[in-house]
Amino acid sequence: MKLLVIGLGQCGSRIADEFAGLNHRARAQRGIEIVTGAFGINTDVADLSGLRHIKSDYQSRIVIGGRKASGHGVGKINEMGAQLAREDGDKVINAIRTAKRFFESDAFLLIASAGGGTGSGSLPVITQMVKDRYGDKPVYAMVVLPFEHEESTEERTIYNTATCLKSVSAVADAVFLVDNQRYVRKDSSLGNNLAGVNEQIVEPFYDLLCAGEEKKQKYIGAKVLDAGDIIQTLGGWTVLGSGVTQVHSFLQRGADFRTKSTETHRGIESMDEALSELSLRCNPADAARAMYLLSAPHREMNVDLVKELGDYLRSLAPNAIIRCGDYPRESGVIQVTVIMSALSDVERVKKYYLKAIQLVPEYERRQEVAETKRRAIDEAGEQVPSLIA
């Protein structure tokens, strides 16, 4: 599957930059393309300057709201981010057509942090614009949820997240939910943490996108998971994850039952890890669609292993339409990538909505109090002479 990736705001642009790096890796290691174009969109010039893989030309790194934001962001006001996206959205639509492989794209992926200003506000607006212009291709959104400390110290973050989630879910074909907090390493510096988080967010897409684009016959699976399978799986609220276990010895013909059982167990371990590392904690039973991709050395994959994985996922997601595939590419490991989609219940999203509803009257009360105090000051100074003619 080939994606055209658009990052919005600081967080979204940096994750889009990771996708561009992932494409460089796929090209170098496997001779295939999985990203037809990567773009960073922001109101802050400095943030765009820190990208590593996205081209540095003005059509790949796009500044919106130059006159109103003066290249310094919107200060977490996502209404302004949405307004600037509406005004300058044509710059984005025109720029993405410059990608050399634009018409090879199977889908669009737009990425932003829900708690910020530029990304949170512009994500639903640009998503709608892309859908209106290119309605024949799926348009997916990836929404990165805020860290715990952001939610506890910045009320505006919760409001932004709720409005972003509600707006983008109404226009995107599927919304990948990513919980920043699940990837944090407490003993790492802030810079290393953010870089590590972005890398972990993008990594599960690697084999998933490569499997259907593979060109070498020996690496093409018995059941190829291609763009059509992924498109049919994705819809509504979606999460994904991947798990890996090491393989120390190949399963040879004539191996005893203990060896075969061990290899099957390793596959189940990989799926368990993938489910525990889903981008957002959820109940698999709430998924209406699910998919898994088994990546392992050719000799490690057998009918029993595929059956066990399928039966296991079926037991966890009994209501889901399940698709699966194999990719005989990985060396020395068994890796399982899992997608849970069309989730009927996402507790985290409901919490944001409920908290935002409580915040709205509180914001209005604070504005009324502030306005009352300002009027009192003005009234107290009515009899004071003014130096302005």
Residue 376 lies in a domain: no
Tell me, yes or no, whether 115 and 165 share the same domain: yes
Give the domain CATH number at 101.
3.40.50.1440
Residue 19 contacts by C-beta under 8 Å, 6 or more apart in sequence?
3, 5, 35, 38, 109, 202, 205
Domain end, chosen from 202, 224, 258, is at 202
Contact 349, 237 (CB under 8 A): yes
295 vs 250, higher pLDDT: 295
Cα dihedral: 304, 305, 311, 314 (round 10): -150
Handedness of CA 246, 248, 252, 256 (dihedral sign): negative
Which two three-digit tokens encode residue 254?
């004539």
Residue 253 confidence (pLDDT): 47
Residue 186 confidence (pLDDT): 45
Residue 74 confidence (pLDDT): 83
Tell me, yes or no, whether 245 and 286 share the same domain: yes
Tell me, yes or no, whether 240 and 198 share the same domain: no
Q: Is the pLDDT of residue 251 over 50?
A: no
Residue 389 lies in a domain: no
253 vs 132, higher pLDDT: 132
Residue 381 confidence (pLDDT): 85
Q: Is the pLDDT of residue 56 over 70?
A: yes
Residue 185 lies in a domain: yes
Give the domain CATH number at 259.
3.30.1330.20
Residue 126 lies in a domain: yes
Tell me, yes or no, whether 51 and 170 share the same domain: yes
Residue 131 confidence (pLDDT): 96
| Helix, strand, coil fractions of the chain, as percent rounded to 5 | 50, 20, 30
Q: Is the pLDDT of residue 250 over 50?
A: no
- In angstroms, the Cα distances linking 35 to 19, 28, 93, 102, 249 are 7, 13, 17, 9, 34
Tell me, yes or no, whether 198 and 239 share the same domain: no
pLDDT digits (tens, 9 = 90+) for 290-320: 999 999 888 778 888 888 999 999 999 999 9
Residue 360 confidence (pLDDT): 78
Q: Is the pLDDT of residue 185 over 70?
A: no
Tell me, yes or no, whether 140 and 260 share the same domain: no
Among 39-48, 181-190, 314-323, whose mean pLDDT is lowest? 181-190
Q: Is the pLDDT of residue 132 over 90?
A: yes
Residue 92 confidence (pLDDT): 94
In this structure, how many other beta carbons lie within 10 angstroms of the beta carbon of residue 53? 17
Tell me, yes or no, whether 332 and 271 share the same domain: yes
Residue 156 confidence (pLDDT): 87
Residue 301 lies in a domain: yes
Instruction: Give me the sheet containing 35-42, strands edge to edge.
Output: 61-63, 35-42, 3-8, 107-113, 139-145, 174-179, 236-246, 333-343, 287-295, 321-327
Which two three-digit tokens encode residue 120?
């949170």
Q: Strand 287-295 relative to strand 333-343: parallel, antiparallel, unpaired?
A: antiparallel
**Model pTM?**
0.90
Residue 379 confidence (pLDDT): 86
Residue 385 lies in a domain: no
Among 19-28, 29-38, 66-75, 301-310, whose mean pLDDT is lowest? 66-75
Q: Domain range for residue 138? A: 3-202
Which two three-digit tokens encode residue 318?
């009994």
DSSP H or E stretch at residue 366: helix 347-380
96 vs 194, higher pLDDT: 96
Q: Is the pLDDT of residue 66 over 80?
A: no
Mean pLDDT across the chain: 89
Tell me, yes or no, whether 271 and 154 share the same domain: no
The total domain count for the chain is: 2
Residue 263 contacts by C-beta under 8 Å, 6 or more apart in sequence?
247, 251, 300, 302, 305, 334
Q: Is the pLDDT of residue 190 over 60?
A: no
Residue 223 lies in a domain: no
Q: Is the pLDDT of residue 324 over 90?
A: yes
User: Which residue type occupies 61?
Assistant: R
pLDDT digits (tens, 9 = 90+) for 134-162: 989 999 999 999 988 888 788 889 999 99
Tell me, yes or no, whether 121 and 32 share the same domain: yes
Tell me, yes or no, whether 243 and 102 share the same domain: no
Beta strands in 9-145 (DSSP E): 35-42, 61-63, 107-113, 139-145
Residue 377 lies in a domain: no
Please, which pLDDT band fits residue 202 given cuts at 50, 70 and 90? very high
Report the Cα–Cα distance between both ends of the chain, in Å, rounded. 68
Tell me, yes or no, whether 148 and 240 share the same domain: no
Q: By CB neighbour count within 10 A (0-12 exposed, 13-18 middle, 19+ buried), where does 310 fall?
A: middle
pLDDT digits (tens, 9 = 90+) for 364-380: 787 788 888 888 888 88
Tell me, yes or no, whether 178 and 254 share the same domain: no
- In angstroms, the Cα distances linking 43 to 118, 194, 299, 350 are 7, 20, 51, 30
